[in-house]
């Protein structure tokens, strides 16, 4: 640093008046045309300068060093302030990012298509529920946070310091600040100030810090704006994440409701098809016991081997040619009521095991307890057989009718034969007609009770007429008994 000697304060005091007379005002701008300002006076002590201009000219190198020291000091302050801002924005951005909930598109898609697998991984469940409940809880602006204040204070100080270098007061402050050690007197400070104040290079270089200070302030403003924008974007992204999840997994059009609708629709289709198939089979059985049946028809009838037996009975009944209506097996095929059908086919038993698993997984992911599907044990156990074919009733009624037809047929034949061979031939028309009518009771009794002709019955129906025509009595008796025995054997097999 430029100074006269160790007692510079006293020297300057002794020579101050002379310097004042010989020098122009020390403000950094000298009048080169003023000889008094440029004149140098040498006192008796050659170690002292007597003219300020000569002092300035002799210390140009020192001026450059002072200027560089101030520049380095100020640059260091500006750099530290920028570093503080950078550190603050980095911490702020990290906190904003930590509070930002982004949509994991892969997990989002997997949950839609395969929720039952997602719930097998607790990490995935936790991440999904974080997206579901996403709320941005981070800072809304850089300004006002703990990250902001250190950089703000450093920049305000450094920026103002840099701008102040354009003033004598700021330069004087800088001269004091760059002193590391030793005594720095007011007089030397004044001379150093004069050195840099009168040097164009120094003034130009120090003047640049005003712009650097402005730039630093602008960096702070830009960081403030960027911080607010980042927080707003973080909230937008987080809200979008939550809304995306809720849009797919909650509400009337949720994935779970879509699954419900799919199962309900399938159950309705199965039920409708079952009803259609049952009605078609009823129509087939109406008036045609021997109609060709499909595998589906057979499964609906569920009559098994009994069906052929029932058809045989129908054919046997109809063989008597009596105009029987037993050709209609539809009488035994009862269509179930709507309530009965709903018990057999409904979403609970139409849904398969995978759908039960998916439905439960969606409840777990969304934290709900919807019970549209609530009994996994019913999965896939629906029954679309809506036709109740009463095989036992059909067998019982057809068997009874077969017997009735058989007895009626044999009784009629027996009565006609008896009347024709005995009643008319013997001239005993009244007795023959009477006994011909009673022969039906005799036939029924002998066949249904599986017994032989009693002595009283033999006497009444046969022996009474033997004196009239012994041969015809024997022939008729044998014919009737043979007819009864054959009828008895068939009756027992029905």
- Domain positions in the chain: 8-58, 63-101+136-249, 255-389, 395-493
Cβ count within 10 A of residue 72: 11
Residue with token string 């979008």: 240
**Assessment of whether the complete model's pTM goes beyond 0.85:** no
Determine the angle formed by the axes of helices 200-249 and 353-366, rounding to 10 degrees. Answer: 140
Alpha carbon 179 to its chain's center: 70
Of 108, 50, 64, 115, nearest to 354 (Cα)? 115
Pairing between β-strand 333-335 and β-strand 387-389 as defined by DSSP bridges: antiparallel
Q: Which helix (H) or strand (E) holds 11?
A: helix 8-22
* Measured distance CA(416)–CA(419) in Å, rounded: 5
* Residue linked to tokens 């045309």: 33
What residues does 387 pair with on adjacent strands? Answer: 335
Residue with tokens 């009828």: 487
Beta partners for residue 389, in sequence order: 333
The helix/strand/coil state of 334 is: strand
Spell out the per-residue pLDDT of the chain, length 494, in tens: 443 333 433 333 333 322 222 222 223 323 222 332 333 334 444 455 446 677 667 777 888 899 999 999 999 999 999 999 999 999 999 999 999 999 999 999 999 999 999 999 999 999 999 999 999 999 999 999 999 999 999 999 999 999 999 999 999 999 998 886 667 778 788 878 888 888 888 899 998 999 999 999 999 999 999 999 999 999 999 999 999 999 999 999 999 999 999 999 999 999 999 999 999 999 888 877 788 889 999 888 887 778 888 888 888 888 887 555 566 788 889 999 999 999 999 999 999 999 999 999 999 999 999 999 999 999 999 999 999 999 999 999 999 999 988 998 888 888 888 877 776 555 554 444 456 668 878 888 999 999 998 998 888 888 887 877 888 888 888 998 999 999 999 999 98
Q: What is the pLDDT of residue 216?
A: 95
Nearest to 134 by CA among 3, 234, 1: 234
- The helix-helix angle for 429-448 and 470-493 (nearest 10°) equals 30
N-to-C CA span, the chain: 140
Would you state the structure tokens that stand for residue 457, as one six-digit string? 């019955």
The pLDDT value recorded for residue 51 is 64
Q: What pLDDT does residue 264 have?
A: 98
Output the DSSP codes for 16-75: HHHHHHHS--SSS---TT-HHHH-----SSTTS---HHHHHHHTHHHHHHHHHHHHHHHH
SS3 339: helix
Q: Which residues, 6 or more positions from 78, have their beta carbon under 8 angstroms from its beta carbon?
A: 158, 159, 162, 209, 212, 213, 216
* CA 79 from centroid of its chain's CA atoms: 51
Alpha-carbon dihedral of residues 299, 305, 306, 307, nearest 10 degrees? Answer: 60
**Distance of alpha carbon 184 from alpha carbon 172, whole angstroms:** 12
Q: Other CB atoms closer than 10 Å to residue 89's CB: what's the count?
A: 22
Measured CA to CA, the distance from residue 388 to residue 337 in angstroms comes to 10
Count of Cβ atoms closer than 10 Å to residue 454 Cβ: 12
């Amino acid at each position: 640093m430029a100074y006269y000697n160790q007692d510079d304060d006293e020297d300057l005091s002794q020579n101050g008046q002379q310097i004042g007379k010989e020098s122009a005002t020390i403000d950094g701008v000298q009048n080169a045309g003023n000889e008094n300002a440029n004149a140098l006076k040498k006192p008796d002590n050659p170690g002292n300068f007597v003219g300020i201009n000569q002092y300035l000219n002799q210390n140009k190198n020192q001026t450059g060093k002072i200027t560089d020291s101030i520049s380095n000091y100020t640059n260091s302050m500006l750099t530290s302030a920028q570093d503080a801002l950078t550190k603050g924005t980095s911490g702020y951005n990290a906190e904003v990012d930590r509070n930002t909930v982004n949509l994991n598109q892969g997990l989002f898609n997997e949950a839609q298509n395969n929720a039952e697998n997602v719930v097998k991984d607790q990490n995935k469940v936790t991440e999904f529920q974080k997206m579901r409940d996403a709320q941005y809880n981070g800072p809304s602006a850089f300004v006002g946070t703990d990250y902001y204040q250190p950089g703000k204070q450093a920049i305000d100080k450094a920026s103002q310091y840099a701008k102040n270098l354009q003033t004598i007061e700021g330069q004087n402050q800088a001269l004091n600040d760059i002193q590391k050690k030793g005594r720095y007197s007011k007089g030397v400070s004044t001379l150093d100030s004069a050195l840099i104040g009168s040097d164009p290079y120094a003034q130009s270089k120090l003047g640049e810090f005003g712009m650097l200070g402005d730039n630093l302030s602008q960096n702070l403003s830009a960081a403030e704006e960027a911080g607010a924008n980042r927080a707003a974007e973080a909230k937008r992204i987080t809200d979008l994440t939550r809304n995306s999840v809720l849009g797919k997994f909650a509400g009337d059009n949720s994935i779970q409701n879509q699954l419900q609708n799919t199962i309900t629709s399938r159950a309705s289709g199965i039920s409708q098809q079952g009803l259609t198939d049952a009605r078609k089979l009823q129509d087939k059985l109406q008036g045609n016991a021997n109609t060709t049946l499909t595998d589906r028809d057979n499964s609906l009838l569920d009559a098994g081997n009994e069906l052929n037996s029932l058809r045989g009975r129908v054919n046997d009944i109809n063989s008597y040619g009596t105009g029987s209506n037993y050709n209609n097996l539809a009488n035994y095929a009862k269509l179930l009521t709507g309530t009965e059908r709903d018990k057999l086919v409904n979403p609970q038993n139409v849904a398969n095991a995978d759908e039960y698993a998916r439905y439960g997984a969606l409840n777990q992911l969304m934290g709900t307890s919807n019970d549209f599907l609530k009994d996994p044990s019913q999965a896939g156990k629906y029954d679309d057989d809506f036709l109740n074919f009463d095989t036992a009733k059909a067998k019982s009624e057809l068997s009874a009718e077969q017997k009735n037809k058989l007895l009626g047929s044999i009784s009629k034949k027996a009565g006609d034969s008896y009347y024709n061979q005995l009643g008319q031939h013997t001239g005993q028309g009244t007795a023959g007609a009477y006994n011909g009518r009673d022969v039906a009771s005799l036939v029924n009794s002998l066949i249904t009770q599986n017994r032989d002709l009693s002595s009283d019955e033999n006497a009444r129906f046969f022996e009474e007429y033997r004196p009239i025509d012994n041969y015809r009595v024997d022939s008729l008796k044998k014919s009737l008994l043979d007819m009864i025995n054959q009828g008895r054997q068939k009756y027992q097999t029905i």
